[in-house]
Amino acid sequence: MPFVAKCRNCGYLLWTETKGLLKDLMKFHDSESHKTYDSEDFDFCSWVIVRVTHEQLRDINMASKNPAFWRAIRTNPKRVRL
Is the pLDDT score of 21 beyond 90? yes
Asked whether the predicted pLDDT for residue 82 surpasses 60, the reply is no
User: Residue 57: which of 6, 20, 3, 10 has the closest Cα?
Assistant: 3
What range does the domain containing 9 cover? 3-79
pLDDT digits 0-9 by tens, 29-64: 888 887 766 656 566 678 888 899 999 889 888 888
Q: What is the arithmetic mean of pLDDT over 20-30?
A: 89
Per-residue model confidence (pLDDT) at position 63: 87
**What pLDDT was estimated at residue 9?**
81
What's the total number of domains in the chain?
1
Helix runs in the chain, H state only: 19-29, 54-64, 67-75
